[in-house]
Amino acid sequence: MQVQIRHQPSFAVARLLLAPQEPVQVEAGAMVATSYGMHMEARSQGGVMKGLGRAFLGGESMFISTYTAPPNGGWVDVANGLPGDLKLIEMDGRVGWCVTRGSWLANSHGIHLETRWGGFSNLFGGEGGFLTHAQGQGQLLVACYGAIDVINLQPGEYVTIDSGHVVAYADTVQSQLRKVSQGVIQSLKSGEGFVFDFAGPGQILTQTRNPDALLGWLLARMPSR
């Protein structure tokens, strides 16, 4: 699979170029257009129970759409539901990636996805407690709200990131949760709640906008009954 990303960074769309009979997995509802003759099949990867786990625990759709190119090859255009950028991760089969809820968009054949318990730190940090874990060799496409920043941590290097701005991070990175400030009053004053302290080595992808902040802004302006 080859990936061409256009309309960056605000309204990115990825064209997934497929060889003859090559399949690609895409988040349900993310398809914008396809070349003629593309075969599509929607199913829950790993069975119904794992599909339910993806939906209710991992924050993704229950079903994954698999597009398979016809004998002459083809392409699939995919985009995220929120305005923002896309990032292609080249996976070598040695290092897996943890993707936060709503950020997985597509992956090539050879990448295996599973819903993984991220610990209570993720649960209280606003990420739902469960992450989509990708393992294997191939290409992984993730989406964000806003622009993507890439943070490369050296061994022993630390960084602190707001929980709502984390998109994905490599398995080599360690993390722990803590409050920004002590006490409820201080948290309300600062507008911050929980943050993650990440320790290298490894790479972290962050988004410049927080989907939960958008939801809060919309709810605050909706007329009350």
Please state, in angstroms and rounded to a whole number, the distance separating the CA atoms of residues 8 and 85: 6
Q: So what's the pLDDT on residue 131?
A: 85
Whether cis (ω within 30° of 0) applies to the bond prior to 9 is yes
Q: Which residue has the tokens 């007329």?
A: 223
Q: Which of 195, 197, 199, 196 is nearest to 157 (CA)?
A: 199
**Could you tell me which residues come within 8 angstroms of residue 81 by beta carbon, excluding any fewer than 6 positions away?**
29, 30
Q: Structure pTM?
A: 0.83
Please state, in angstroms and rounded to a whole number, the distance separating the CA atoms of residues 171 and 81: 26
Amino acid at 13: V
pLDDT in tens, the chain (225 residues): 999 999 999 999 999 999 999 999 999 999 999 999 999 999 875 544 454 444 444 445 668 999 999 999 999 999 999 999 999 999 999 999 999 988 999 999 999 999 876 554 444 334 445 789 999 999 999 999 999 999 999 999 999 999 889 999 999 999 887 777 655 444 443 345 678 899 999 999 999 999 888 888 888 888 876
Please state, in angstroms and rounded to a whole number, the distance separating the CA atoms of residues 117 and 175: 14
CB count within 10 Å of CB 31 equals: 18
5 near 88, Cβ under 8 Å?
Answer: yes
**Could you tell me which residues come within 8 angstroms of residue 140 by beta carbon, excluding any fewer than 6 positions away?**
88, 89, 91, 97, 99, 104, 107, 108, 111, 134
Please state, in angstroms and rounded to a whole number, the distance separating the CA atoms of residues 29 and 40: 12
Query: CA dist 110 to 7, 161, 174, 215, Å?
Result: 27, 31, 25, 35
User: Which token pair is 63?
Assistant: 């079903």
Give Cα 115 distance to the centre of its chain: 12
